[in-house]
Homo-oligomer: A and B are copies of this chain.
Amino acid sequence: MARTKGDHEARRRDVSEAVWRVLSAHGFGGLTMRAVAAELGATTGLLTHYFATKRDLVAYALDLLDRRTAEGRRPYEGEGLAALRAALRDALPLTAEATTSNRIWVSSWDTALADPALGADHAARYATGRDRLTTLVAAAQLHGDLPPGDPADIATAAQSFTLGLTIQALLAPTAFPPSRQTRLLDDYVASLTTG
Q: Determine whether the beta carbon of B27 is less than 8 Å from that of A172.
A: no
Q: How many angstroms between the C-alpha atoms of A157 and B158 in the bound complex?
A: 11
Cβ of A21 < 8 Å from any Cβ of B?
Answer: no
A47-73 with Cβ < 8 A to chain B = none
Interface size class on chain A is 35 or more
Q: How near does chain B come to A59, taking the closest CB pair, in angstroms? A: 16
Write out the residue numbers on chain B whose beta carbons fall within 8 Å of the beta carbon of A163: 160, 163-164, 167-168
Q: How near does chain B come to A176, taking the closest CB pair, in angstroms? A: 9
Whether A107 contacts B103 in the complex (CB less than 8 A), given A163-B168, A168-B159, A168-B163, comes out as no
Write out the residue numbers on chain B whose beta carbons fall within 8 Å of the beta carbon of A172: 123, 126-127
Q: How many angstroms between the C-alpha atoms of A3 and B141 in the bound complex?
A: 70
Over the window 102-144 of chain A, the binary record of Cβ atoms lying under 8 Å from chain B Cβ atoms (1 yes, 0 no) is 0100110111111000010011001100000000000000000
Besides A112-B171, A160-B167, 13 new A-B residue pairs in contact (Cβ under 8 A), listed by A number:
A27-B110, A27-B113, A30-B114, A109-B167, A127-B172, A153-B184, A157-B161, A157-B165, A157-B187, A164-B164, A164-B165, A194-B194, A194-B195
- Which A residues are closer than 8 A to B by beta carbons? 26-30, 103, 106-107, 109-114, 119, 122-123, 126-127, 153, 156-157, 159-168, 170-172, 175, 183-184, 187-188, 191-192, 194-195
